[in-house]
Amino acid sequence: MTDSADQGKQADEDQLVVATPHLGQVLDKLGDYGVIPTGSDDSPELGLTLLKLDPDQVGAAAEQWRNQQDLVDRPKLDGVLNLLYSYFEDRYSGWVPSIGKNRAVLPVIGSHNIGGGGELPPMQAKEDLPQRGPGAGRGVRVGIADTALYTHPWYAGTYLAAQSALYEDPGDEPHYALGHATFVAGLILRQAPEATLEVRQVLDRDAQGDSWNVAKELVLFADSGLDVLNLSFGCFTDDNKPPLVLSTAIGRLDPRVVVVAAAGNHGKTKDWNKPVWPAAFERVVAVGATDDSGVRQPWSPDLTQPWVDTMAPGKDVVSTYLPDKARVPERPDDSPIGPFGGFATWSGTSFAAARVSGTLAAGIRRDGGPAEALHSLLPPR
């Protein structure tokens, strides 16, 4: 299985991900091309190893690729990957080890560009949410992989998280994306108020990350006893093929877990028909956004895309958020908005996905297990 280049933001360094059992063979061949890794990171849970490479060595090695035209406007690391693929295919009759890039993973937040921002920042809610009371979701466990979670009093006692994945005071004028997990958590609990949330931070305060670090956290959900896992982030690939590390991490999850992901907010861009990962994986429920009346929003993919599974309200939804002001760097004057008082209105397929995760959590005990609840939810295709 091979991987391909990112479109958009790349990881900070030239980095390859290699299946650990084949690491020696890949290292030997990299050495033949003059590329000596400067560091590595091994994940036994994923069965993969990350190699950090010297950009100058990568550039020099890429010059050895016979089809230089392939590298026009593409990272030099693609040339090194092409050399490796070609060698192993020729040597082993088409077989190649699992090799891929460490991709950027960006938020699917309230803008019409995946990983962009500024068109639809959260706004102050006209009214707070009513106090959370008893209801559906008892005994159901929902995973959230997202930004750090604000310790909001509205959902106190509902979540499990490492201290490093929580914050009590977001500080003065944080980036508005810092409240992303907080908003997602509130939406899930509005549907299933007695569910238990397990939260892992995979994105930074700007709601960005790379696929290696995201995957290392995702695979830790494998033994958590989850019923539902919510993933409100995504990335493109230049050949629209699945990213290796995210595919590996999701493949390690218990098959009974229903994985729900945002379909992206790129419906009005030139990339409107491109799949977004992890939403486009076969086992993931990809969710597009409608308004409350069921009308698909123009910035959302729809069910004509074969990898989109369902739609849910994601326009101007209200949920838990940061208490004070939030800085919006995409604004011309870099000005903050708020104060929010702990609640906000926001739009995006991130939040449509959270609504679906909450609906599944609410229906699991009534409809049976996660698979039965999912069958009840999805429309016929």
Q: Mean pLDDT: which of 17-31, 61-75, 239-253 is highest?
A: 17-31
Q: Are 169 and 294 members of one domain?
A: yes
114 and 95 within one domain: no
Q: How confident is residue 116, by pLDDT bands cut at 50, 70 and 90?
A: very low
Last residue of a domain, one of 62, 78, 102: 102
Tens-place pLDDT, residues 173-211: 888 999 999 999 999 999 999 999 999 999 998 888 999
Range with top average pLDDT, 61-70, 74-83, 250-259? 250-259
- pLDDT tens-digit readout, 229-278: 999 999 888 778 889 999 999 999 999 999 999 999 988 888 889 999 99
Would you say residue 9 lies in a domain? no
Provide the pLDDT confidence category of residue 300 given band limits of 50, 70 and 90.
Answer: very high
Contact between 139 and 365 (Cβ < 8 Å) = yes
Range of the domain at 92: 14-102
Average pLDDT over residues 306-334: 90
CA distances from 307 to 78, 84, 228, 372, 376 (A): 27, 31, 19, 21, 19
| String of DSSP letters for 22-78 | GHHHHHHHHHHTT---SEEEEETTTTEEEEEE-HHHHHHHHTT-S-GGGGTTS-THH
Who wins on pLDDT, 3 or 373? 373
Q: What is the CATH number of the domain that holds 96?
A: 3.30.70
Report if residue 2 sits inside a domain: no
- Same domain, yes or no: 170 and 78: no
The tokens of 263 are what? 């379909």
